[in-house]
Amino acid sequence: MADFSGEDEAYAYLTHKLSKLGLRVLNKRVGAGRMSPDIDILAERGGKRVGIEVKYFRASPRFYEGLDEALALLLHCLDEVYLLHVFDSSLGEQARELARKAALLSELTPVGYMAMVGRSEPEVLVEARGNPLKSILCSQSLQG
């Protein structure tokens, strides 16, 4: 049996678990159907708005999945962005290897990376480095 029925159940679980990382969840599925990409989880930490792209893998995970959407979240004037891979516990050791590869890719970007297996605690493997586009995009959007 899968750890979660789908991403929506994983979001509900994460709402409580992310608080242990100092993140206060403000909303889930922000902009769904209106904005692309939508923000799977919008959180706040220390006055900063943090967007989290969540991908839940039951089988055949691709370690790079979701990185494109996480990068695109930088265009939404967030302070920080994370990609969070949630691996079903049935993936076992394969999940750890995939998380290692995803973390290596994430280090090349400003996007932070978190991983969790089953209903464990989310683990930050790469800290977000801040949104390098925020000062450019947000000041332009306020002017025009």
**Domain boundaries defined on the chain:** 7-143
Confidence (pLDDT) at 36: 82
Structure tokens at 21: 């990382």
**Cβ atoms 99, 125 nearer than 8 A:** yes
**Mean pLDDT in residue range 54-65:** 91
Return the residue matching tokens 């789908």: 6
pLDDT at residue 142, as a whole number: 44
Around Cβ 1, how many Cβ atoms within 10 Å?
Answer: 5
Number of C-alpha atoms within 13 angstroms, CB side, residue 6?
Answer: 1
Class of domain 7-143: alpha beta
pLDDT, tens only, 62-76: 999 999 999 999 999
Q: Give the chain's length.
A: 144
What's the confidence (pLDDT) of residue 140? 57
Above 80 in pLDDT, residue 141? no
Q: What is the pLDDT of residues 91-122, one digit of tens each?
A: 988 999 999 999 999 999 999 999 999 999 99
DSSP code of residue 6: S
Label each residue of 40-63 as H, E or C.
Answer: EEEEEECCEEEEEEEEEECCCCCC
How confident is the prediction for the chain on average, in pLDDT?
91
Q: What is the pLDDT of residue 144?
A: 42
